[in-house]
């Protein structure tokens, strides 16, 4: 059964940068006994993803076992959940420092699953890991929006397909529109205790987009989309280095069978981390949007379980390729000319 969720009633929500007041509307009879049907995808089984408690447990156990990992609590969410930063490397100032940030939007879950795999990988003692950690300072901040990811928020999620995850934080604010004001505890902590403290040179911000995004006018569904900072206050050299970061990610993902990336048609507002961190701190940033979401009030944004494994691998591939390119310096020779011909996303959903 094709459901019509409240696209019209809620169409303004994504455009709202501040808090919004959700309308109370009920969706009678939308879910069958096996849950809703998502355009031929199977039912949503979000319980396979790491809950906050499971993520915390995972990180703390790795921290106990690993010499390489230093786990830090850098802040607290609206609802009092600790925010974790996984640190690796010597923190030598001669080495480049990169931050991987995931799940600013609580319903964009597989980014964090990928980050947890990379954290685990960096606690292993392989030759490649040793080379990375001698040459790169690695910061991984998994799941900034810990409350939205638990659905533990001060507004109703009854209009969401699954009702378990939301884009917004507990106060109903889009954290990725709060990078100038930093009025929310999550963004404030990220800026003061991670960005200003460790001064990363690079940042990849991992997100998810709708499922129906295609590559230009080809009609081919993409596995993800990328974009560098587009705010005009950003130093051209910072933007160029961001494009190199994008080149590394593009080559690594496109080399995979599932990989097809488009250019994300993103805005230039400084409130968005891709733009704001580049403009304010000179960090070379890349947005990586992956296909589909764990939950949304628009049903064609929601992705079933079948695609989870390749999308998690896409995130892991992007992060590992970046670490290798920073470790051996090959990022400096990355060819940025592909950006000029990379087709923009086309959105064929509702
Ligand atoms: Zn997002």
Residue 282 lies in a domain: yes
- For residue 108, how far is its CA from the centre of ligand 1 (angstroms)? 6
In a domain, 201, yes or no: yes
Tell me, yes or no, whether 25 lies in a domain.
no
Q: Which of 43-52, 112-121, 260-269, 278-287 has the least mean pLDDT? A: 43-52
Going by pLDDT thresholds of 50, 70 and 90, the confidence category of residue 193 is very high
Residue 187 lies in a domain: yes
In a domain, 220, yes or no: yes
Q: Is the pLDDT of residue 24 over 90?
A: no
**Length in residues, the chain:** 350
55 burial level (CB within 10 Å; 0-12, 13-18, 19+): buried
The rounded Å distance from CA 209 to ligand 1 centre is 7
pLDDT band for position 9 (cuts 50, 70, 90)? very low
What tokens were used for 253? 């993902």
What are the beta bridge partners of residue 302? 293
CA distance 59 to 143: 12
How do residues 156-166 score in pLDDT, each as one tens digit? 998 888 888 99
Q: Is residue 136 assigned to a domain?
A: yes
Is the alpha carbon torsion for 53, 56, 59, 62 positive or negative? negative
Q: Output the CA torsion 195→58→88→292 (10° steps).
A: -60
The answer to whether position 312 is within a domain reads yes
Q: Which residue has the higher pLDDT, 304 or 21?
A: 304
**Alpha carbon of 258 to those of 47, 54, 71: distances in Å?**
25, 29, 33
Q: Enumerate the H helices of 2-98 as residue ranges.
A: 52-65
Please state, in angstroms and rounded to a whole number, the distance separating the CA atoms of residues 101 and 83: 12
Residue 125's pLDDT is 85
pLDDT of res. 164: 87
Two structure tokens written together for 102: 């995931």
Mean local confidence (pLDDT), 332-340: 98
User: Helix (H) and strand (E) counts for the chain?
Assistant: 9, 10
Q: pLDDT at position 20, please?
A: 39
In this structure, what token pair is assigned to residue 167? 């884009």
CA of 350 to the centre of ligand 1 (A): 18
Measured in Å, residue 33 CA sits from the centre of ligand 1 at 30
CA-CA distance, 29 to 217, in Å (whole number)? 36
- Please report which confidence band the pLDDT of residue 31 belongs to, taking 50, 70 and 90 as the band edges: very low
pTM listed for this prediction: 0.86
Distance of CA 290 from the midpoint of ligand 1 (Å): 9
Quote the ligand 1 centre to 35 CA distance (angstroms).
Answer: 25
Average pLDDT over residues 92-115: 96
* Residue-wise pLDDT tens digits, 58-89: 999 999 999 999 999 999 999 999 999 999 99
CA of 5 to the centre of ligand 1 (A): 20
Q: How far apart are CA 347 and CA 344, in angstroms?
A: 10
pLDDT given for residue 305 in this prediction: 66
The per-residue pLDDT for range 293-332, each reduced to its tens digit, is: 767 777 777 766 667 888 999 999 999 999 999 999 999 9
How far is the centre of ligand 1, averaged over its atoms, from the C-alpha of 30 (Å)? Answer: 26
The number of folded domains in the chain is: 1
Write the burial class of residue 53 (CB in 10 Å: 0-12 exposed, 13-18 middle, 19+ buried).
exposed
- % of the chain at pLDDT higher than 90: 74
Measured in angstroms, how far is the CA atom of residue 184 from the centroid of ligand 1? 16
Interatomic CA distance for residues 117 and 100, integer angstroms: 12
In a domain, 224, yes or no: yes
Check whether 340 has a pLDDT greater than 70: yes
Better-scored residue on pLDDT, 214 or 230: 230
Do 46 and 294 touch, CB atoms closer than 8 A? yes
Average pLDDT, the chain: 87
H/E stretch holding 318 reads helix 308-327
- The parent domain of residue 224 ranges over 46-347
CA of 207 to the centre of ligand 1 (A): 4
Mean pLDDT on 114-143:
97
| Domain harbouring 269, CATH code | 3.40.630.10
Cα(334) to ligand 1 centroid in Å equals 26
């Amino acid at each position: 059964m094709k459901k019509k969720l409240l696209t019209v009633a809620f169409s303004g929500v994504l455009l709202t940068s501040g808090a919004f007041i959700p309308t109370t509307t009920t969706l009678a009879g939308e879910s069958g006994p096996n849950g809703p049907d998502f355009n031929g995808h199977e039912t949503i089984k979000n319980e396979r993803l790491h809950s906050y408690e499971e993520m915390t447990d995972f990180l703390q156990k790795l921290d106990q076992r690993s010499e390489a990992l230093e786990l830090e609590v850098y802040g607290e969410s609206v609802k009092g959940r600790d925010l974790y930063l996984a640190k690796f490397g010597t923190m030598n100032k001669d080495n480049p420092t990169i931050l991987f940030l995931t799940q600013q939007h609580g319903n964009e879950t597989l980014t964090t699953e990928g980050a947890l795999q990379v954290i685990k990988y960096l606690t292993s003692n392989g030759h490649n890991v040793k080379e990375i950690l001698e040459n790169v300072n690695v910061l991984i901040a998994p799941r900034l929006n810990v409350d939205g990811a638990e659905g533990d928020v001060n507004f109703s999620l009854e209009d969401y397909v699954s009702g378990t995850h939301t884009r917004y934080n507990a106060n109903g604010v889009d954290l990725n529109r709060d990078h100038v004001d930093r009025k929310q505890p999550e963004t404030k902590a990220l800026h003061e205790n991670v960005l200003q403290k460790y001064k990363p040179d690079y940042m990849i911000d991992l997100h998810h987009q709708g499922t129906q995004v295609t590559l230009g006018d080809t009609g081919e569904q993409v596995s993800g989309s990328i974009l560098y900072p587009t705010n005009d206050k950003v130093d051209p050299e910072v933007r160029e280095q961001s494009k190199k970061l994008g080149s590394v990610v593009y080559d690594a993902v496109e080399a995979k069978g599932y990989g097809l990336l488009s250019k994300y048609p993103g805005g230039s507002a400084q409130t968005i981390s891709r733009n704001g961190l580049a403009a304010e701190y000179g960090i070379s940033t890349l947005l990586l949007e992956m296909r589909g979401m764990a939950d949304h009030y628009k049903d064609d944004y929601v992705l079933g379980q079948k695609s989870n494994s390749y999308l998690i691998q896409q995130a892991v591939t992007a992060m590992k390729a970046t670490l290798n390119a920073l470790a051996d310096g090959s990022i400096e020779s990355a060819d940025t000319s592909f950006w000029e011909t990379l087709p923009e996303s086309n959105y064929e959903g509702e």
